[in-house]
Structures are given as structure tokens and as C-alpha cells.
């Protein structure tokens, strides 16, 4: 029986060791940045040239102060305009909006998530570390209370055609989107870092969309 | 999870019962992914443990139960990934980011082994396990997770050697081929597991 207890002790030590070296996964905010693009294959991106993009963006959030302080909107719009210019498109001013071949709209969504709970025992089960590993407070290894919050942020760019009237739309009654870019990630405390990540994401969105190129 | 707990408890009970006339072992396992598993996660796993109990049928034959846990992990990218079009015919989506891939393999097997030689000398053995494998396969990309958790039928042929350390313990070194059958859309999971541990008589 003594041997059995000795063996059990070894198992417990081995489990502790394994739990301790479980792969951590993402370590930096940029590790979970995601850039998604999709486009309308029937749309002729080359036959367009002038576009309108407002100087403001739509912002939606569940955060109380309702202020977009986490990124620089001006730099975000500059990054889009710079990429569009490199692809041969011309941005119009407010007074020229009637000439636009297409419109780009930009929106930002920020969602704050708050969680609290209790971990009664060492978290052996795989996957545990991932779910609460973001900018939060880790409970001690022997268990305990924890609390953490994180904010998910998304920047969404839509490319659509202002010439289409509601009466021209299909039964879906939705404005057709010809190109969609969505940048998704976690919002950090650093405005500079967030802005740089968004700028990189915008550059990547264009890089993975080679079909966006004006031939006019 | 509860099902896993019951199966492990039964195996430990069987293993503990077999101890009076057999042996009980713990091991550190290294896993080398093979086939489709290597396509998903190629790096060697250095995160693995195993426990097992074996009871004697006669001097050369044992029956028993084993439980192992192997963790495979790979970080891929950042790079571009093709997505299915959000709406059929509407376009071809692309995602750019890092993928974090995990496989947790939990083979729970009934085993039988045959041994050469005598118990007071180095003994070579071969055998096999048949049973269930819980495979948790996960891909994290961005803030999204794709989970594929399934119970599979599995088997595991094994060859090894017991090297006596003292009168009631031995070094146990073996190589085991772990194979979990394909389940639905989930690929078969296979890896070569090298085990080093102790067996207590």
C-alpha cells in the first residue's frame, strides 16, 4: 500500500508539472489580431475611380463614456486613403459627393466584457488558460477568486455603390456590399499601439485584396 | 468529463487491485505526430504523462489498464487563410492572422503484454491496448475558436523493456503507436509515443 501512495504522489507531481507547462498560446495583443476581407466577384473594381469617405466614423460601444479614445480616427482614415490612392482611386470632398462612383464607410465597434468568478482548484483541464488569459488577473495556482475585463474592438470598412436605389435592390432589401474588410482584436491601454495595429491591419486588408485596383 | 472521470477511476481501481499481483507504473511521454495529425500539428510533444496498472495472469503475461495524456501544440503564421465565401457566389474571403493549434489526446485502454525472461532480470515485452481515445482538437484564430472534441475507438501496440532498479521497482522504457480512428468529419489521430517511467511491483 505504501508503494501505491508513493505512486499516487508521483502522479500528482506529474500532473502539476504538466499543468505548469501547458502551452500558453497567444502572448501579445497582436497575436490575436485578425484581418478578414471578402468581396463581390461580379463587381468591376477596375472600372471605378472616385469615391467618397466621410471624415467621421460610426462608433458603437457598450462602454459608458461612449468616447472613442483608444485609436486615432484621423490616422485610421489616412491609412485607408493612402492605400486607396496607391491603387489609383481618388477621394472626393463633401462638395463633390454627387460624383462618387462608390462610397467607403468606416465603423468601429468596441465591446467591453467583464468577468468574475472562482477557481476552486488548479486548472488542469486544457483550454482554461486561453479563456481568461487576456489582460486579466490570473487566480493563484491553488485556486481563488479572479476578476478581469477585456475590450474587443472591430474596425469595419464597407465598399458600396450609392447609385443603387432602394427600388433596384433585390428582395433581400440590403445595400449590396462589394468589399468588406473587418479588423478584429483586443483593445489595449495604449492608443499608439492600438492605432499602429489598426494601420497594419488596413495595410494587410489591401494587401490581401489585389483585385482592388482602378484601371481608369 | 464525468464519463472520463468514471473510466479513469475504474482503470485505477483495476490497476490498484492488480498491484498485489502485478505492477503499477507512471511515465513521462514524448509524442511524435504522424500522418494527418502531423499536418495539423507537426512539432514533437514534450508534454505527456501516463499511468497504468498490470496484473499477472502467469509469469509471462499481464492484463491491465492505462491512461495517458499527450498535448500537441503549434503556432502557425501570421499568414493568409482562405475562408469560404460569406455568401455563396458572393466572393472569396481571406483571413490573415495567427493560428494556435492544440491536440489533447487521452487514450484510455485495456492492455495485455507478453514478457521474455525472468522477473529478476531485464525483460523485454510487447503488447497492445484497445479502448477509447478522447481527442480534443482546437484551433484558435483571432478571437475565435474552432473546437472538435470527439470520443474515438483506439488501439496502441507497444514494445518495451523493464530494467530492474531494486527488488520492487524497475525502469520502464517503451515505444507505443497511438492510433484513434477517424470519426465523422474528424481525421484519424496518430502519433508515436516514447515512454520513460517507473514500474512498481
The DSSP annotation for A118-166 comes to EE-S---STTHHHHT-SSS-PPPTT-EEEEEEEEEEEEEEEEE-TT--G
pLDDT surpasses 60 at B84: yes
In chain A, how long is the greatest CA-to-CA distance?
89
Q: What is the mean pLDDT of chain A?
A: 78
The CATH number of the domain holding residue B129 is 2.40.160.20
Cβ of B97 under 8 Å from any chain A Cβ?
Answer: yes
Q: How many domains does chain B have?
A: 1
Please list the helix, strand and coil fractions of chain B in percent, rounded to the nearest 5, in that order.
Answer: 10, 70, 20
Judged by average pLDDT, the poorest of A2-11, A16-25, A108-117, A192-201 is A2-11
pLDDT surpasses 60 at A128: no
Please tell me the number of Cα atoms within 13 Å of A216 on its side-chain side: 12
Q: Which domains does chain A have, with CATH numbers?
A: 23-207 (3.30.160)
- A21 contacts in B (CB within 8 Å)? 46-47
- Decide: helix, strand or coil at residue A105: strand
Query: Does A15 sit within 8 Å of B86, measured CB to CB?
Result: no
- Decide: helix, strand or coil at residue A98: helix
Tell which wins on pLDDT, B76 or A145.
Answer: B76
* Cα distance between residue B5 and residue A59, in whole Å: 48
Cβ of B199 under 8 Å from any chain A Cβ?
Answer: no
* Cα distance between residue B78 and residue B76, in whole Å: 6
Query: What confidence score (pLDDT) does residue A121 get?
Result: 47
Query: Does B71 sit within 8 Å of A126, measured CB to CB?
Result: yes
Query: What confidence score (pLDDT) does residue A16 get?
Result: 54
Q: What is the DSSP string of A196-210?
A: HHHHHHHHHHHHT-T
Q: Across the interface, which of A18, A21, A36 has its CB nearest the CB of B69?
A: A18
Query: Does B95 sit within 8 Å of A125, measured CB to CB?
Result: no
Cβ of B170 under 8 Å from any chain A Cβ?
Answer: no
Query: Does A25 sit within 8 Å of B143, measured CB to CB?
Result: no
- What is the pLDDT confidence band of residue A130, given thresholds at 50, 70 and 90? very low
Query: What confidence score (pLDDT) does residue B86 get?
Result: 41
pLDDT surpasses 70 at B18: no
Query: What confidence score (pLDDT) does residue A202 get?
Result: 96
Judged by average pLDDT, the poorest of A124-138, B96-110, B164-178 is A124-138
- pLDDT > 90: percent of chain A: 33
Judged by average pLDDT, the poorest of A24-33, A141-150, B35-44 is A141-150
Mean pLDDT on B175-190:
92
Using CA atoms, how far residue B138 sits from A36, A59, B32, B45, B76, in Å, is: 20, 33, 18, 16, 13
Cβ of A125 under 8 Å from any chain B Cβ?
Answer: yes
- What is the pLDDT confidence band of residue B119, given thresholds at 50, 70 and 90? confident
Residue A113's DSSP bridge partners are A150
Query: Does A31 sit within 8 Å of B200, measured CB to CB?
Result: no
- Decide: helix, strand or coil at residue A174: coil
pLDDT surpasses 70 at A122: no
Question: Which of B47, B69, B101, B171 is most worth mutating to test chain A (most A CB atoms within 10 A of its CB)?
Answer: B47
Cell (9 digits) for B126:
510487447
Query: Does A184 sit within 8 Å of B93, measured CB to CB?
Result: no
Query: What confidence score (pLDDT) does residue B2 get?
Result: 56
- What is the pLDDT confidence band of residue A61, given thresholds at 50, 70 and 90? confident
- pLDDT > 90: percent of chain B: 66
Task: Provide the domain limits for residue B34.
Answer: 2-200
Residue B135 burial (CB < 10 Å; 0-12/13-18/19+)?
Answer: buried
Cell 493563484 belongs to A140
Spatial neighbors of B125 by CB under 8 A, at least 6 apart, are: B113, B114, B115, B116, B159, B160, B161, B162, B174
Amino acid at each position: 500500500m505504501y508503494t501505491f501512495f508513493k505512486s499516487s504522489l508521483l502522479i500528482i507531481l506529474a500532473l502539476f508539472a504538466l499543468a505548469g507547462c501547458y502551452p500558453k498560446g497567444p502572448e501579445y495583443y497582436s497575436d490575436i489580431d485578425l484581418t478578414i476581407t471578402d468581396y463581390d466577384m461580379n463587381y468591376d473594381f477596375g472600372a471605378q475611380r472616385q469615391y467618397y469617405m466621410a471624415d467621421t466614423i460610426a462608433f458603437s460601444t457598450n462602454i459608458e463614456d461612449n468616447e472613442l479614445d483608444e485609436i486615432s480616427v484621423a490616422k485610421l482614415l489616412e491609412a485607408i486613403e493612402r492605400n486607396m490612392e496607391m491603387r489609383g482611386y481618388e477621394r472626393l470632398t463633401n462638395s463633390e459627393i454627387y460624383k462618387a462612383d462608390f462610397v467607403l464607410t468606416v465603423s468601429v465597434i468596441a465591446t467591453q466584457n467583464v468577468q468574475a468568478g472562482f477557481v476552486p482548484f488548479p486548472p488542469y483541464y486544457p483550454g482554461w488558460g486561453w479563456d481568461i488569459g487576456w489582460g486579466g488577473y490570473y487566480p493563484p495556482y491553488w485556486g481563488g477568486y479572479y476578476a478581469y475585463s477585456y475590450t474587443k474592438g472591430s474596425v469595419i470598412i464597407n465598399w458600396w455603390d450609392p447609385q443603387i436605389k432602394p427600388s433596384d435592390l433585390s428582395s433581400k432589401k440590403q445595400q449590396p456590399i462589394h468589399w468588406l474588410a473587418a479588423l478584429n482584436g483586443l483593445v489595449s491601454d495604449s492608443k499608439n499601439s492600438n492605432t499602429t495595429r489598426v494601420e497594419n491591419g488596413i495595410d494587410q486588408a489591401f494587401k490581401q485584396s489585389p483585385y482592388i485596383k482602378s484601371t481608369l | 468529463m464525468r464519463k472520463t472521470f468514471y473510466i479513469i477511476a475504474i482503470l485505477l481501481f483495476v490497476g490498484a487491485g492488480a498491484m498485489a499481483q502485478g505492477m503499477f507504473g507512471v511515465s513521462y511521454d514524448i509524442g511524435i505526430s504522424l500522418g494527418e495529425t502531423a499536418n495539423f500539428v507537426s512539432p514533437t510533444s514534450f508534454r505527456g504523462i501516463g499511468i497504468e496498472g498490470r496484473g499477472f495472469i502467469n509469469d509471462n503475461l499481464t492484463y491491465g489498464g492505462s491512461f495517458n495524456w499527450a498535448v500537441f501544440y503549434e503556432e502557425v503564421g501570421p499568414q493568409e487563410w482562405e475562408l469560404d465565401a460569406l455568401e455563396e457566389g458572393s466572393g472569396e474571403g481571406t483571413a490573415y492572422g495567427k493560428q494556435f493549434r492544440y491536440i489533447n489526446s487521452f487514450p484510455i485502454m485495456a492492455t495485455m503484454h507478453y514478457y521474455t525472461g525472468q522477473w529478476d532480470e531485464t525483460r523485454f515485452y510487447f503488447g497492445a491496448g484497445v479502448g477509447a481515445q478522447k481527442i480534443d482538437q482546437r484551433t484558435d484564430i483571432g478571437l475565435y475558436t474552432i473546437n472538435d472534441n470527439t470520443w474515438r475507438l483506439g488501439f496502441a501496440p507497444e514494445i518495451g523493456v523493464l530494467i530492474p532498479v531494486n527488488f520492487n521497482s524497475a525502469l520502464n522504457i517503451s515505444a507505443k503507436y497511438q492510433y484513434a480512428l477517424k470519426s465523422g468529419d474528424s481525421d484519424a489521430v496518430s502519433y508515436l509515443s516514447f515512454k520513460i517511467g517507473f514500474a512498481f511491483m
